[in-house]
Structure 1
Amino acid sequence: MTAAAMVAPRAGRTLFFFEKPSAMRQLQRFFRSPDTVCVSAEGHLLTAEEPGEIRPEWKPWHFEALPIVVDTIPVRCGTSRSGQSHAGKLAAIGQALRGVERVIIATDPGREGSMIAWEVLEHLGWRGRVDRLKLGALDDVSIRRAFAALAREPDSGARDYAAYLEALCRQYEDYHLGLNGTRAISLKLRPAAFREPWRFGGVQSPTLAILADLEERIRSFVPQDFFKVALHLETAEGAALTLWHMPKDRIFEREAAEVIRAAAAAWSGPLAVEQRDQRRAPPRLFSKDTLARRCAKRFGWDPQQTARLAQELYDQGYLSYPRTESESLPEGQAGDAAAVLAAVGSVLPDVAILTAAGPPVIRRGAKGHYVRDPGEHHAIVPLRKVPAPGRLAADLFRLWDLVARAYCAAHLPDGIDARTVAAAEVATPLGAKRFSVTGRVVRVPGWRAVYGTEAEADVDAVPGKARAEDEASAGSLPPVRDGAGASATGADIAEAVTEPPRRITRGELPVVMGRLIDQVEDPAAKRALENPVNPNEPKGLGTAATRDTILPKLLKSHYISLAGGKDPAITVTEVGRAFIAAVRRVFPAYGDPVGRAMFEAELAEIGRATTRDEARARADSFRRRTRERLDGLIAATARAQAVSLDPSLIPAEANPGRGGGAPTPAMIAFAVSLAARKGVPLPRGCKSSLARCRAFLDAHAGARAAVGPKGAERAPSPAMLAYARRLAETRGLDCPPEVEAQFEACRRFLDAHAAGAGADESVGRPIRTSAKRLPRESAKETGRPAARPRRASAKRAPRGASC
């Protein structure tokens, strides 16, 4: 089938705009018309201008210049990862557009894909017809369905333009919040001893607030002893078993436990035995976030690695589109199940045996896998195209295998467990108490046979919550009939300790961001986060496409640290706790995760507009509100005081170039004299640790002001210090301690003693001691790692701002 057969024929040439050459090659085999032109972007071809490139006065970091606001973010030609300019690609696309009557955007089906194409078309001034081809997968069947849908949607271009404007508005807010928030908070609130910027962002900051709130609950948690009571008994038939009293409302007083134990020890009476089959349905299919969580737990992959591998499998046509929030499939795809299962079975023989036993089980509705509207993109599933043996790299095949088995499990029968509960009511002075034990035996494995012994029982555990108290259970129980008489043979008290909430792990963080509703206790907040249209996808932070980029930013800012292990737990550092406390004190809205989720929901309405005019009106309104919020942020920050933080709590790596080695004798002498003069104790390790000595001097002798207003006291640069030391040694001078820590003192020393030193080879070339301009600020959320900040000095301030 050719492209012309799949869409209504039109006069003139049609240009297909792809995101990657690999996708373009997948579709080119469908094109037979000479009037079809194909181009690919290979990602974003344009990049936002830096503030200093827009206006020179915005390059230095001065609070008086804030807020820095532009109506539209200027863009320029970007570069590839290898540093090659995209100018040639832009020129080629511009040339290809000449004589074209229609553009069909065939980039990845999401806001980011829409933006990649539309920003180029807007930049080149294209004003012709635009349609949107949404490729949920790159196998032949999915491609044909995408063309059929294109033919049925004459307004696909207008709807996609709305998605582009939503992405543009997200970039607009990211740019302005990262730029203004980072500068304002760094200049006004950041502790003097902290060298790097205090990076701020609309999604990053409330995400940190979730982790900080959990950190506070963990740190303030006080363990409590509680008690369980065991009743050992024997039935009239001679069967022995143990029942437990372990109520949800725990027993915290030993005296109460002893009263119950004494009553249980004297108990005799009939047992209540309930036997029934318990059906266990297969788990939901994978969204991007839940797939990341499973891969972190099973393979130890970080979410970004999982996302890269899933994207590669999509590009090769083995998986459906991976950047999805949904865990469901559209009802119209139920008919594909048999063919997909057969294809998967050709690669996984053990699965083929299970799926060949009967027709696929199709579960519909909110509790099933097929729904009427799964959202913009459905769950991640395998396709008819399957990898040949040895075709994929090991990690790619492991990921495909995981998704394929989940799909197969979703179409197999329920598992059935034979569940037996034996219970006894014991009369005590504190009232009747229930003792029980549960035995569970797998009667029918059902879908669990796909996983064998790897079937995981705790995949749905809520991150950040204490482990639930399980019911007393045994692998199997002896034969016991309902109403059988039994007598106690003894009773014991078992001690246990309450556990704090579990830390959220690296792999769980995207799930936490997407399911914020699980982290809040307030009923009103839970109601606000509900999504009536799709209850399985409540309001959350960020988008599925970008949630995995937040943790690296928090790590880079030293707001969090990771423990060891396959899926490491996240701990909020003292720097992170101080930062989020300052944000909440100065501008609480940016430290409120629920409020941010509601704001995200409003932002998503831009992408739901049905006409260009409606989308533009919503986008203009959003930009106005963003500027108003910026004004409020800057005004509130201007009135705030800097945060006081013990320098010893700042990690050495937060001050690049200053963490290793010992301080110089002059620094130690200056620190000792400074401590005596100010009447403060010299911190432990100050004489042996360069970082701690520097932090003490910064806190008590004046900050180096890595990013600060003109006139702020600062320390000399490394070059100035080196020159001053050589000069003192050569001329037999004493180098005063303040020269080591104060820029002005060092400059005065050089001015007084460097005359004629320019020709003295033993001293070296004279240096310039004037302060230079601060660097341009990178405020865009690009997801690329920023360059390592330079050592903070009068010469440069470190770059840094992120969403």
Structure 2
Amino acid sequence: MRTVLMVAEKPSLAQSLAKILSNGSATSRKGFNGACSVHEYTGQFHGENVRFKFTSVCGHVMTLDFLPSYNNWDKVDPAELFAATTEKKEATAKLKMPAFLEKEGRGCDFLVLWLDCDKEGENICFEVIDAVKYSMSKPRGNEQQIFRARFSSITDTDVKRAMANLSVPNESEARSVDARLELDLRIGCAFTRFQTKFFQGKYGDLDSTLISFGPCQTPTLGFCVERHDRIQSFKPDTYWILNVELLLPGDRRLQIDWERVRLFDREVIQLFHSEIKQHNNAIVVKIDKKQKSKARPVALNTVEMLRTASSGLGFGPQHTMQIAERLYTQGYISYPRTETTQYPANFDLKGTLRMQCSNSQWGSYAQELLNNGINKPKQGQDAGDHPPITPMKPASEDVLDRDSWRLYDFITKYFMATIDYDCKYLQTTILFNIGEEEFSVTGNEIISPGFTSIMSWKSLSPDASLPSLKTGDTLPIRDVRINERQTSPPDYLTESELITLMEKFGIGTDASIPVHINNICERNYVTIESGRKLKPTALGVVLVHGYQKIDIDLVKPSMRAAIEEQLTLIAQNKADFHEVLSWTLDVFVKKFQYFVENIADMDELFEVTFSPLAATGKPLSRCGKCKRFMKLITAKPARLHCSTCNETFNVPQNGNIKLYKELKCPLDDFELVLWTTGGKGKTYPLCPYCLNHPPFPDMKKGMGCNECTHPTCQHALEQTGVSNCLECDNGTLVLDPTSAPKWRMCCNRCNVVINMFENAHKINLTDDSCDECQSTILKIEFNKNKTPLDNGCTTHIGCVFCDPILVPLVEIKRAVALRRRKGGQKSSRPRRKGPKKPKDKMAQLAAYFV
């Protein structure tokens, strides 16, 4: 029996699709990578009985990156990145996805790709093909082996239709994604590395780990700063309006509006005020009644969903897409990434509406719409991708989480509104004359609410009923007043408005727009204020102004829009991949060179906005060179700066840094500092100089004392390491000497923390190892009043993982056998044996190398 391997984009999607295609008969097993399951069943494929294996990936299988030799920021000139060699490597190494796909594809006869039906999905198709094709069985003659399933929703009908109409993957669309990835990598990394190193080396309060540039991200930020500049440069003008109030029968009042609206000259409006005050009545000169309508919406696409979710539901774009993808995977809505706003001709509008008749909130509305007959949807735009976003099966509030229900509620109501009728209302306008001046009042009366019955947020605001008047009637004037007001500045851009601008100027795609907005927030370029308004930070403003001073094209949307046009041509097989790549990179190489030559123009703006490193931070520890205090700069990225030596030392991020008992590194005399994530997290000492300049060949930049291979230092791995980590492959459990009296061990590579011995006041590592697990034997001295030992003993020597007395006092009660290195090299397990501690540094180094 031949085998068909089928691959979806997510594990949950593979499970849903396999359940539909197997009619619930599939059996499941876990894949060897632990993340993906394999669902197996038998069935028909091209007229023969076959065995189906349905599995998935977890997003992209591969990612594009530079060769490791180009990843050293200190040694590589950013300009080299435009021509640097790149490679495809595993997107998530721990998932071992290529190996998993190769194993499951071994011996398979056919491959059916069920990746998402967009350009990214096409790109992942070819990543899966590359991983599987060499392990598949050879085809019989000219037999086609690789197929593509195209679907828009997880419903029985759509999925089985896709299975019956398999096509082939689109290589042109996949290549357009490759081009975008390579351009963004080369351009973004070159600019980002240069400006990050330049400005973080001079200023201490930038409060951003990375000063990034992106061909899409930067124009997105530019929109926000442009609005900010308009607000800052706005100068209010004073103007005046006339408020006239008429008296109606029954002591009711009617406010009427001046047709001139407002004047900016106080003396002139006082003349009009005096003129009107001379009259006692207003005369009705015309009554105008018109029937108007408020149009129902076109079908829902991604951008409109993101806009409304931000302004109406308070969801950020990225959060909205995460919810929408989850609803799609669960089968509640159709594919959420689409630019189309027109239903296909064969779309079952009545069937989709009929599914909602059982809903307790809008079921009666759906049934009434079916009974009265649905309206023909408005003509939208067919972008040639997926159908508009619609509900695919009924849901209730008790089966979805709160945010998922709110988005599903919006999508369903929006769909029903598109097939309802327009809102019709009668607009009545009464015109008055007071002397030579004209005034009016307008009111609306609902004739038929139409779609606003279900989209209540679109309904017309209720107006006070107008009086019954006819031409020639007069009403006494009760009051005439002059009101002074001022023009107001525009408000900061909302996410909804920003999405509209990005769509208008072609910045990003429906899939990437949320990512770009999220990036400028995470980079501390903008902050999200009340009402989902985006307010640029000082860093965001200075960056955009700097780009404008040097090269305005870097921040203008037209540059990215031109690139997107070229990428679209690649996807349509109308442009050559290499030509587009070469042309675009040539343009940006010249722009980068000009940017570097004129960086001083941007630096002038930074100088007046931010403080230099020497004037930032608080004194913390002494420099090993000049013996003066270095300052700790806590703004991102955290670092230590010596103003005397004019040197900056990076420290670990996302934790707190404090002085460690004024102890010094035996190699360079720098005072040690402690990095900690709090009382329940990891803590370890580090030398600022060794962290940035590894002292030994087997150490890497960024290693603290808990990974230092110094042979005799009391803080190094030799003196504090207990056992190999229980979870990760290369880590060592290190005793935290600062954790007393609640002692703990922490892995020096991963986040494993083991709590132990709360009543011990001293722990020492011995030179012996456990015979069973090879962990270092500990000597523990307990508090004499709280000792767990028999007969009041306070000292015990044993293995924390094997000793029957110590095991109950440790949270994790298992150890890992030590992994020894081959070829007689030094064991990765900490050992205590060796010569006594030399007295001077040269002797220490000699002992290490000998």
Q: For residue 663 of structure 1, what is the amino acid of its counterpart?
A: P
Corresponding residue for 2:619?
663
| Aligned counterpart for 2:322 among listed residues 308, 320, 324 | 308
Q: TM-score, normalised by structure 1?
A: 0.69
Deviates more, 1:303-312 or 1:139-148: 139-148
| Aligned counterpart for 2:180 among listed residues 153, 164, 170 | 170
Cα distance change, pair 698–321 in 1 and its aligned pair in 2 (3 A): farther
Q: Does the Cα contact within 8 Å between 1:63 and 1:184 map onto a contact in 2? A: no
Q: CA-to-partner distance for each residue in 1:277-333, whole Å, 9 max, x for gaps?
A: 221222333322322332333433222222111111111222111012233322332
Q: Does the Cα contact within 8 Å between 2:298 and 2:378 map onto a contact in 1? A: no
| Aligned counterpart for 2:154 among listed residues 130, 135, 138 | 138
Q: For residue 502 of structure 2, what is the amino acid of its counterpart?
A: M
Corresponding residue for 2:7?
17
Distance of 1:358 and 1:545 partners within structure 2 = 38
Q: For residue 440 of structure 2, what is the amino acid of its counterpart?
A: S
Q: For residue 554 of structure 1, what is the amino acid of its counterpart?
A: I
Q: Secondary structure at the match of 2:80?
A: coil
The question of 1:626 aligning with 2:638 is answered no
Q: CA-to-partner distance for each residue in 1:561-586, whole Å, 9 max, x for gaps?
A: 222x4x43211111111112223333
Q: For residue 118 of structure 1, what is the amino acid of its counterpart?
A: F
The question of 1:157 aligning with 2:168 is answered yes
Q: CA-to-partner distance for each residue in 1:155-190, whole Å, 9 max, x for gaps?
A: x536x2111111111111121122212112223466
Q: For residue 485 of structure 2, what is the amino acid of its counterpart?
A: A
Give 1:64-79 correspondences, 5 Å limit.
64=77, 66-69=79-82, 73-79=86-92
Corresponding residue for 1:325?
339
Give 1:455-534 correspondences, 5 Å limit.
455=458, 474-486=463-475, 488-506=477-495, 508-516=497-505
Cα distance change, pair 41–247 in 1 and its aligned pair in 2 (3 A): farther
How big is the shift at 1:703?
6.2
Cα distance change, pair 274–762 in 1 and its aligned pair in 2 (3 A): closer
Distance of 2:570 and 2:670 partners within structure 1 = 67
Q: Secondary structure at the match of 1:424?
A: strand
Corresponding residue for 2:739?
none
How big is the shift at 1:666?
8.0
Corresponding residue for 2:368?
354
Distance of 1:568 and 1:412 partners within structure 2 = 31
Distance of 1:728 and 1:130 partners within structure 2 = 64
Q: CA-to-partner distance for each residue in 1:675-708, whole Å, 9 max, x for gaps?
A: xxxxxxxxxxx9x99769x99978998463869x
Corresponding residue for 1:379?
388
Corresponding residue for 1:556?
522
Cα distance change, pair 489–701 in 1 and its aligned pair in 2 (3 A): farther
Corresponding residue for 2:564?
600
| Aligned counterpart for 1:297 among listed residues 305, 311, 314 | 311
The question of 1:341 aligning with 2:307 is answered no
Q: For residue 276 of structure 1, what is the amino acid of its counterpart?
A: K
How big is the shift at 1:500?
1.5
The question of 1:89 aligning with 2:100 is answered yes
Q: Secondary structure at the match of 1:172?
A: helix
Distance of 2:106 and 2:314 partners within structure 1 = 47
Q: CA-to-partner distance for each residue in 1:499-550, whole Å, 9 max, x for gaps?
A: 211212345543332234xxxxxxxxxxxxxxxxxxxxxxx21011111112
| Aligned counterpart for 2:239 among listed residues 217, 221, 226 | 226
Cα distance change, pair 57–134 in 1 and its aligned pair in 2 (3 A): closer
Corresponding residue for 1:412?
420
| Aligned counterpart for 2:209 among listed residues 186, 190, 196 | 196
Structure 2 unaligned segments of length 5 or more: list them: 24-42, 652-656, 672-686, 694-709, 720-749, 752-850
Distance of 2:259 and 2:644 partners within structure 1 = 56
Cα distance change, pair 637–243 in 1 and its aligned pair in 2 (3 A): same
Give 1:576-615 correspondences, 5 Å limit.
576-609=540-573
Distance of 2:69 and 2:669 partners within structure 1 = 39
Distance of 2:50 and 2:171 partners within structure 1 = 25
Q: Secondary structure at the match of 1:182?
A: helix
Deviates more, 1:275-284 or 1:545-554: 275-284
Q: Does the Cα contact within 8 Å between 2:619 and 2:629 map onto a contact in 1? A: no
Corresponding residue for 2:196?
186
Q: For residue 153 of structure 2, what is the amino acid of its counterpart?
A: A
Distance of 2:196 and 2:338 partners within structure 1 = 35
How big is the shift at 1:408?
1.0
How big is the shift at 1:635?
1.2
Q: Does the Cα contact within 8 Å between 2:414 and 2:455 map onto a contact in 1? A: no
Q: For residue 63 of structure 2, what is the amino acid of its counterpart?
A: A
Q: Does the Cα contact within 8 Å between 1:647 and 1:699 map onto a contact in 2? A: no
Q: Does the Cα contact within 8 Å between 1:45 and 1:90 map onto a contact in 2? A: no
Cα distance change, pair 106–27 in 1 and its aligned pair in 2 (3 A): farther
The structure where helix makes up a greater share of residues is: 1
Q: CA-to-partner distance for each residue in 1:321-351, whole Å, 9 max, x for gaps?
A: 1012233322332xx1211111112123342
Distance of 1:629 and 1:12 partners within structure 2 = 52
Corresponding residue for 2:69?
56
Distance of 1:381 and 1:514 partners within structure 2 = 21
Q: For residue 494 of structure 2, what is the amino acid of its counterpart?
A: T
Aligned-residue CA RMSD (Å): 4.6
Cα distance change, pair 124–71 in 1 and its aligned pair in 2 (3 A): farther
How big is the shift at 1:122?
3.3
Cα distance change, pair 90–245 in 1 and its aligned pair in 2 (3 A): same
Q: For residue 384 of structure 2, what is the amino acid of its counterpart?
A: G
| Aligned counterpart for 2:114 among listed residues 106, 111, 125 | 106
Aligned residues: 639
The structure where strand makes up a greater share of residues is: 2
How big is the shift at 1:201?
0.8
Corresponding residue for 2:454?
450
Q: For residue 209 of structure 2, what is the amino acid of its counterpart?
A: E
Structure 1 unaligned segments of length 5 or more: list them: 1-10, 459-472, 517-539, 675-685, 708-715, 731-740, 748-756, 767-786, 789-803
The question of 1:261 aligning with 2:273 is answered yes
Distance of 1:122 and 1:720 partners within structure 2 = 56
Q: Does the Cα contact within 8 Å between 2:633 and 2:640 map onto a contact in 1? A: no
Q: Does the Cα contact within 8 Å between 1:381 and 1:404 map onto a contact in 2? A: yes
Corresponding residue for 1:467?
none
Cα distance change, pair 326–497 in 1 and its aligned pair in 2 (3 A): farther
Distance of 1:69 and 1:317 partners within structure 2 = 43
| Aligned counterpart for 2:62 among listed residues 47, 52, 69 | 47
How big is the shift at 1:407?
0.9
Does 1 or 2 have the higher relative contact order (CA < 8 Å, sep 6+)? 1
Larger Rg: 1 or 2?
2
Q: CA-to-partner distance for each residue in 1:616-671, whole Å, 9 max, x for gaps?
A: x521122112321342133113312341456895699xx9xx998x535989xx9x
Cα distance change, pair 201–264 in 1 and its aligned pair in 2 (3 A): same
Q: Does the Cα contact within 8 Å between 1:209 and 1:591 map onto a contact in 2? A: yes
- Percent identity over paired residues: 19
Cα distance change, pair 413–288 in 1 and its aligned pair in 2 (3 A): same
Q: Does the Cα contact within 8 Å between 1:107 and 1:114 map onto a contact in 2? A: yes
Q: For residue 169 of structure 1, what is the amino acid of its counterpart?
A: A
Corresponding residue for 1:704?
648
How big is the shift at 1:214?
0.8
How big is the shift at 1:247?
4.6
Q: Does the Cα contact within 8 Å between 2:391 and 2:412 map onto a contact in 1? A: yes
Q: For residue 427 of structure 2, what is the amino acid of its counterpart?
A: R
| Aligned counterpart for 1:207 among listed residues 203, 206, 220 | 220
Q: For residue 723 of structure 1, what is the amino acid of its counterpart?
A: K
